Structure formats: structure tokens, C-alpha cells
A and B are shown apart, each in its own frame.
Chain A
Amino acid sequence: MKKEDMVKLISSEGFEFVIDKDAAMVSQTIYNMLTSPGSFSETQHGEVTFPEISTTILEKICKYFYWHLQFASGKETEFHIEPELTLELLMAANYLHT
């Protein structure tokens, strides 16, 4: 994988998740961050820091991105969400416009 095709997402605790750009762009917010004209620091460095999203949630989100790429069109599988994460995940989803 070329470096340009990857993006680094950093959680509030500083954990780094390196995922495919295609996956990250499932989020409309991240999509705009990486494609907006002019050069925001995110576009330049290929990394995004989320000071308000915890590692657990960000991990779940990354999982969702890939699940979405794979299955979103069909309804065969379910994306499992632990009940305790629900609320925070909901917040993050609204934020990321996913």
C-alpha cells in the first residue's frame, strides 16, 4: 500500500490507527478534511487527531468503516455494538457524519 492511500487517525489518548483512505472516507467529515481545497494540516500530513474520541470508540469506528465498505449494500451481516458503547458511538457518528 502506498502511503498516500493510507490515513492515520489518532484518538484522544494518542493511539494511532492507520487505515485505508477509502475506508476513512466513509465518514463525510473525514472526506471533506482530506479533499478540501487548500492545504489544511490534515491533508498535508495524512493524519487526523480526534481529541474528543476515545481509543475504544475510534477502534469501533474503524471497524465500522471496513464493515461498511464490505457489507453496506447488503443486509446479510449485522454490525455488533456493545450496549455500553452505544451513546458515545452515536455522538461520534453525528460528529463524523457517518
Chain B
Amino acid sequence: MSAPKKKNFQIEAFKHRVVVDPKYPEKTWKILEHAIHEIYNHNASGLSFEELYRNAYNMVLHKFGEKLYSGLVATMTSHLSEISKSIEAAQGELFLEELNRKWADHNKALQMIRDILMYMDRTFIPSTHKTPVHELGLNLWRDVVIHSSKTQTRLRDTLLELVHRERNGEVINRGLMRNIIKMLMDLGSTVYQEDFEHHFLEVSADFYRLESQQFIECCDCGDYLKKAERRLNEEMERVSHYLDTRSLDKITNVVEKEMIESHMQRLVHMENSGIVNMLVNDKYEDLGRMYNLFRRVPTGLSIVRDVMTSYIRDTGKQLVTDPERLRDPVDFVQRLLDLKDKYDKIISLAFGNDKTFQNALNSSFEYFINLNTRSPEFISLFVDDKLRKGLRGVSEEDVEVVLDKVMMLFRYLQEKDVFEKYYKQHLAKRLLAGKTVSDDAERSLIVKLKTECGYQFTSKLEGMFTDMKTSQDTMQGFYASNGPDLVGDSPTLAVQVLTTGSWPTQPSATCNLPAEILGVCEKFRSYYLGTHTGRRLSWQTNMGTADLKATFGKGQKHELNVSTYQMCVLMLFNNADRMTYKEIEQATEIPASDLKRCLQSLACVKGKNVLRKEPMSKDIAEDDAFFFNEKFTSKLYKVKIGTVVAQRESEPENQETRQRVEEDRKPQIEAAIVRIMKSRRMLDHNNIIAEVTKQLQARFLPNPVIIKKRIESLIEREFLERDKNDRKMYRYLA
């Protein structure tokens, strides 16, 4: 007692107690047996706990534990057999209620009995390795009542029947269900599993197999998924209400398997309602439902993803290869952006921004954008359009949004160098014509390109901006120093000094400038070369513009905004009213194709025909004659003539650009090969190809055949040699 709760000592009885009545155990047991009967008969109020406890205590103490225990088993068993009979006799609906009531009774009685026999539980049972009273009571209940031949199947069938009725929309007594299921669980998880869960799952599988069969015949995909989702939620709710929580996964698995997994392929491909239809019609809710349901089965999402990917690829492919679309590059890119927006929205709203879906989307875009070799050109044209006019009056944030989207398309491009080429051309035209809407936007895009592709990619683009800035300063300096000489009638000159290499210069085809201009130009040349030594200036007459003031027949004045070539032509008419094509060509020395184009825009465009042509026809022929058009009228004071806007290239031009790109790639490929071989010293052919591809991926996708050619060229120039033993190995020669 002074050391409380030390229970592992055994107390011997007093000597004088040893001499007991030989009938003592029998008598004592009778008292206890009687008490047990009374307890089962709800008649315990008269009993003295102390007396019963004392009797049981004494029996155990006097080595009659065995008798007490076996007596208990026998008594309880007989009671339970009777209970079992009364349960079996219960009719129909009452069966479960009777079972439930008896179970509650038994539980209460069992607890009382256990309390009375506590001393036995504490000493006798552990030392003889018998089943403790409470567990014994449960086991007996299981064996005698639940597993009685009549009850076992009846109980199971009744429970399953109730579940079935609930599935069909009837209301059942869930409290009763919960109690009975709880009883099965209390009897041990194996009882629950074997007597109920196992069968429950089987029946459920049958039920849902049948139901899903019916649904799929008569419902479209969206409705089917709604039904499946509802069933799934019902089952989860069922588990939370009256089943063991461990059944949750099992039963949901059954539903998933029967309702989703077995019909997945059919569902996603359903005509007029499958994934494709949902995608087309932006059915976020249905798609979201599909995502959530299909996520539950192992291959579900990959099926959804595959269907989506192939659909995006198809629509994308149609888009990029549709010759209709190719006519308008801006619209083409806008459509791409719209497509991307659409799927971004679907993924964020319906697919929970799932990374794997995003990747699938990206790879699809990458796939079809690169199907069309003109995509880089078009994207650059789109930017050009936006920066020329599209972004006027748009807030800075919106500009950023548009630019970010463009960058996103840019990322998909495999031939980033082609984009660079076009972008450079377009940027040059924008800068020289002063057409760019916002310097900030231009720079912002350059920064984006820089972060994406590195310094190298944009250094030349940035050089172009610097040139523009220095040119401004130069012109100010020029006018400051030559100011007095240039006032008066002489034309105002604006020169942009472009660094060779940074700008996409075409082979400069000079023309004869009019004398008035030539004078100023010469002054500028001497000024410029005077301030900067060791430089060379050459005039890019094909890239300039000019503003002319002209007076027409009735004395009305117009300001004509024309290209440098057109200016040269028009200036000729200051001294003559009629000139033939040949004469013009001779006087200006403009290249024939350019001349034809500029004459066409001067003479053949309605409303802008400051020249008159004979004979009147759409095309310019070698022996046409041109007249100053006295009758020219226009509502506007300023007339813009045939501005050379960036347009999608014609086929031959496109070929030419391609060729230039290919040329530019050669040194890059060679440089990559040399870099790799320098560090590796020796490498076989396939690995070189792989490494080169990897290094250049950020700019373009090199063709293995071309790489091979470059390797051969390097071998010729003795940068590399083939290994003497293994012809596939290359060796670096320092």
C-alpha cells in the first residue's frame, strides 16, 4: 500500500481460512451465477457489488479460478444462445433493431460482469493466459450470435439490402446501420471485413458496373461525369456516416474502377460531348470534373492529357498550315495567342494549373509553331505591327502583357536566330522611319529577349538603339557648326549613322542624288569625317525617306512624304514635264526593280498619283513615259506615298533570308564544335552531334547533316582529325 500500484505480488490466504467448507466453491459460484442471470434479466438493482466482488475474489484466492472462469463461459454462452434465438425469431424489419437492442444489453451486462470479476481479470487470467472477460464476452457474442447459421447470412443480406435501397434513393435508418456496423467493428476488424466489407465491395462493384453500363448508353460525357461524381460523393458520405473509415479507399476504388476506369476511353472520345467538345466550348466545369475524377485512377490524367495534346496539335497544325491564315501575319499570331490564352484558361480553371498539363500545352505549341517555317517572321511582324500602331494609347501594363505573350511564343520557336534576323530588319525599318510608338516598349522587349537568350542575342539590337541616339547628337553638332551656311532654301538633312554589322544592311545600291541634296550630303560627310577619323561613310539610299513640298496645277500645295528613291525621281520633274523610263533610269541609276516599284507607287495608286503614265496600265514597262500630273488633288495637305511598310516577304525574299540564316549558322556550329572538342579532346560522332545540338538549342535546331559538313570542313582546315583506328572518333588538334 505504501508503494501504490505495485501489483505483481501474490497474497497467500490466512491459515485459518484454508479450512473451508468443501461445498464452499459450489455455493459461492451459485451466488455469482445467480447474479449473472439477474444482470442479464435487468434485475441487478438488488445486488451488492461488494458481495459479488468479494465472492469472486475469494474464489480466485482459494484457487477456484478455473471453476469461476469455466462457469462464466458456460453461463454466458447459454444466455447468448437464448438471445440468439430471440434475434432469429425477430421478423423482417425488426431483425436489426432486435439485434441492436440485444447487443446494447449484452454490452452493458458484460461490463458489469467484468467489473465484478475484476480480480479474476487482474490475477487469474494473465497467469493462465486466458482471454480477459470483456474480450471473452465479445468472442462469445461473435460465435454464438453473429455466426449462428441463421443470423450470419441474414445479417449480411439485410445490411447489403439496406445499402442498396439507400443507393436507389430510399431513406434508411442510418443510426441503426451505424450501430450494427460499429458492433461488427467492435468484434474485431476481421469480423467487419469478412462478414460485411468484403461482400459489400463485391455487391457495390456489381451495382456500379451495371449502372455505369446504363449511364454510358444514354448519357453524354458531361452528364455521365456528373452522375459518377455524385455516386462517388454518396459513397464517401456513406462511409463517413456508418462505415469504417478504412473502407473509404476501398469503396471509392470500386466506384472509380467501375464508373471511370472501365469507361475512360469511351468517355474522352465521346462524339459531341467528349474532351474535344468540352475544349471547343470552354466547358470549364465539365473539364474540371473530369480532371478531378480521372485523377483518381492511375492512367486517367494521362489519357485526358493525350487527347488534349493531340487535339491542340491538330487545331494548331491546321492554323499554321492554313494558307488563308498565312496572308495576314498579324492575325496569324493573334490567333496563336488566342489559342494559348484559351488553353491557359482551361488549365487554370479546370485542371488546377497542373504542371503536366502545362508542359503538354507547351510542347504542343512548340510542335506546331515550328511546323511553319515562317512563324519566326510572323511573330516579328506581329511585334512590328504592335510597336508601330497597335500599342498606341495602350497603358504600360497592357503593353507589358502583350510583350510577355509574344515572348512566350518566342520561347516555343526552335529557330530563334531566324526570328532575330527578321526582328533586326523590322526594327531597323521602324527606327529609320521613326515609326516606333514607344521607346520604352522597344527597350522592354529587348530586355526580355536578353534575359531569355543572353547578351549575345541582343547586343546588335542594342547597338541599333545606340546608333540612333548618337546620330541625333551628330546632327545637332552638324547644324551647330554649319548652321549659317545651311539656312535658306537648301534642304534639311537628317542623317542616321549606322554601324556596319549592327544593322541589316543590304548591298548598298547607290543612286544619283539630286544636286541640291548632294551638296548637303557632302557637307555632312566632311563634317563627320572631320570629327571622327578613320571612318567610312556610305549612303544607304534605299532606306531613307524625304518630305517634299510640291505645287500643282491649280496652285494648291502639298507636302509629299516619299522614300529617297521616289524623291530622286520627283526631283527630276522640277526641270522636265515628261520623262521616259529609260531617261529616269539613266538619271537616277536606281536599281531596276526598286525603280519600278517606286514608279508604280507614284503613278499607279489612285489618290496618290502625282505622276501620270502613258500608256495607262497597272505595270511599269521599259518604254513607258511619265508626266507630272498637274491635276493631282488630295483632301489632305500631307500626302504619304507608297511608304515601304514591313510586309511578309515574297517567296524569293524568303528563300534569300533562309539562305543568309543558313550561312550565319555555319560559323556558330563550327564554334560550338571547336568549343566542345577543345574541352573533350576526343569524341565520337554521335556525341558531338548531341552536344552541339544541346549548345545551340537556345538559338536554333541544327541539322545533323549540316553539323557533319562543318566537321568535315574543320578536318580540312586541320582543326580536327579522325582517329586512325576508329574512324568514328575525332581528335582535337591544338
Are A42 and B2 also in contact (CB < 8 A) when A32-B115, A36-B112 are? no
B257 contacts the other chain (CB 8 A): no
Are A41 and B1 also in contact (CB < 8 A) when A32-B118, A36-B112, A36-B115 are? no
A22 contacts the other chain (CB 8 A): no
Q: Which residues of B contact A50 (CB under 8 A)?
A: 50
In the complex the two chains form, what is the Cα distance from A94 to B13 in whole Å?
11
Interface string of B360-403 (1 = CB under 8 A from A): 00000000000000000000000000000000000000000000
In the complex, the chain B residue whose C-beta lies closest to that of A34 is B49
In the complex the two chains form, what is the Cα distance from A64 to B1 in whole Å?
8
In the complex, the chain B residue whose C-beta lies closest to that of A88 is B14
* Contacting pair A89 B49 (CB below 8 A): no
Q: Which of A15-42 contact B (CB under 8 A)?
A: 28-29, 32-33, 36-42
Partner of A29, one of B39, B47, B53, B111: B53
**Distance in Å from the Cβ of A66 to the closest Cβ of chain B?**
13
**Distance in Å from the Cβ of B56 to the closest Cβ of chain A?**
11
* Contacting pair B11 A91 (CB below 8 A): yes
* Contacting pair A44 B122 (CB below 8 A): no
In the complex the two chains form, what is the Cα distance from A54 to B4 in whole Å?
21
Q: Which of B188-209 contact A (CB under 8 A)?
A: none
* Contacting pair A41 B45 (CB below 8 A): yes
Q: Which residues of B contact A51 (CB under 8 A)?
A: 54
Q: Which residues of A contact B50 (CB under 8 A)?
A: 33, 42, 48-50
Q: Which residues of B contact A40 (CB under 8 A)?
A: 44-45, 47-49, 112
Q: Which residues of B contact A81 (CB under 8 A)?
A: 1-2
B719 contacts the other chain (CB 8 A): no
Are A36 and B4 also in contact (CB < 8 A) when A91-B11, A94-B11, A97-B122 are? no
* Contacting pair A41 B46 (CB below 8 A): yes
Q: Which residues of A contact B47 (CB under 8 A)?
A: 40-41
Q: Which residues of B contact A64 (CB under 8 A)?
A: 1
* Contacting pair A33 B49 (CB below 8 A): yes
B469 contacts the other chain (CB 8 A): no
Interface string of B232-273 (1 = CB under 8 A from A): 000000000000000000000000000000000000000000
B638 contacts the other chain (CB 8 A): no
* Contacting pair B48 A38 (CB below 8 A): no
Partner of B1, one of A28, A48, A89: A89
Q: Which residues of B contact A37 (CB under 8 A)?
A: 108, 111-112
Q: Which residues of A contact B215 (CB under 8 A)?
A: none
In the complex the two chains form, what is the Cα distance from A95 to B58 in whole Å?
9
In the complex, the chain A residue whose C-beta lies closest to that of B107 is A37
In the complex, the chain A residue whose C-beta lies closest to that of B54 is A52
* Contacting pair A97 B118 (CB below 8 A): yes
In the complex the two chains form, what is the Cα distance from A61 to B36 in whole Å?
30
B57 contacts the other chain (CB 8 A): yes
In the complex the two chains form, what is the Cα distance from A41 to B39 in whole Å?
13
In the complex, the chain B residue whose C-beta lies closest to that of A47 is B50
In the complex, the chain A residue whose C-beta lies closest to that of B118 is A32
In the complex the two chains form, what is the Cα distance from A69 to B283 in whole Å?
69
Q: Which residues of B contact A48 (CB under 8 A)?
A: 49-50
Interface string of B22-52 (1 = CB under 8 A from A): 0000000000000000010010111111100
In the complex the two chains form, what is the Cα distance from A92 to B54 in whole Å?
11
* Contacting pair A98 B4 (CB below 8 A): yes
B528 contacts the other chain (CB 8 A): no
Q: Which of B107-166 contact A (CB under 8 A)?
A: 108-109, 111-112, 115-116, 118-119, 122
In the complex the two chains form, what is the Cα distance from A94 to B4 in whole Å?
10
In the complex the two chains form, what is the Cα distance from A68 to B4 in whole Å?
9
A-B contacts, 30 of them at CB < 8 A, read A29-B53, A29-B118, A32-B49, A32-B53, A32-B118, A33-B49, A33-B50, A36-B111, A36-B116, A37-B108, A37-B112, A38-B44, A38-B45, A38-B108, A40-B47, A41-B46, A41-B48, A42-B48, A42-B49, A43-B49, A49-B48, A64-B1, A79-B2, A90-B1, A91-B11, A93-B1, A95-B54, A97-B7, A97-B122, A98-B1
**Chain B residues at the A interface, C-beta cutoff of 8 Å:** 1-2, 4, 7, 11, 39, 42, 44-50, 53-54, 57, 108-109, 111-112, 115-116, 118-119, 122
Q: Sorted from nearest, which 4 A-B pairs have the closest CB atoms?
A: A40-B49, A93-B1, A32-B115, A36-B115
Other contacts beyond A39-B45, A79-B2, A97-B7: 10, CB < 8 A:
A36-B111, A36-B116, A38-B44, A38-B108, A40-B45, A42-B50, A44-B45, A81-B1, A89-B1, A90-B11
